[in-house]
Amino acid sequence: MKSPAEVDEQEVRCPQKFEPTRWRAEKMAVVEELTGREAVIQRLRDVGLRVTGPRLEVLTVLAAGGHLDVEAITTTARERLGTLTSQAVYEMLRHFQETGLVSKFDRPGLPAVFEISGPAHQHALCTVCGRVENVAATAPAPPKGALPQWRVDDAEIVFKGLCPDCRTSAADG
């Protein structure tokens, strides 16, 4: 996949429709790869991290899918481990991000959420409840010459609106 800086103007296009189903299929391949305990152990070793019970549990919680904040990750992992602090989870997530195992998505005014890193994608954010969903879309590159002094490393699109649940609630109310 080309970085935004390598994309030719002719290739720049913004998808007109969301394709969460296709993205979920791609994501499932990554999740399936990480769902088995042995696979999680191997992934930790592959990126040079020591295998510990808490690391295994946090990655297993994330591999179950969705976008989870630190509180949700900590609560779920703590139920299985018996003891785990939020600080320890923050530290693990930092290491997982540095090694590319996990991605972070910042939500304005709300806690950030984390997910297992997978295929390139964008996000849809509900402006009422903060729900985040993945969108199979590629962020466009800036037009040639728009940022002549820059080296663009990444770009992202966040689609903001109402999730199905909040749309239904708004229609009912």
φ, ψ dihedrals at 106, nearest 5°: -85, 130
Q: How far apart are CA 166 and CA 170, in angstroms?
A: 6
14 assigned binding-site residue:
no
Radius of gyration of the CA atoms of the chain, in A = 18
Q: Is the dihedral of CA 19, 125, 89, 85 positive or negative?
A: negative
126 assigned binding-site residue:
yes
Task: Tell which residue, 85, 80, 33, has the closest CA to residue 61.
Answer: 80
Residue list for the binding site: 126, 129, 163, 166
Residue list for the binding site for Zn(2+): 126, 129, 163, 166
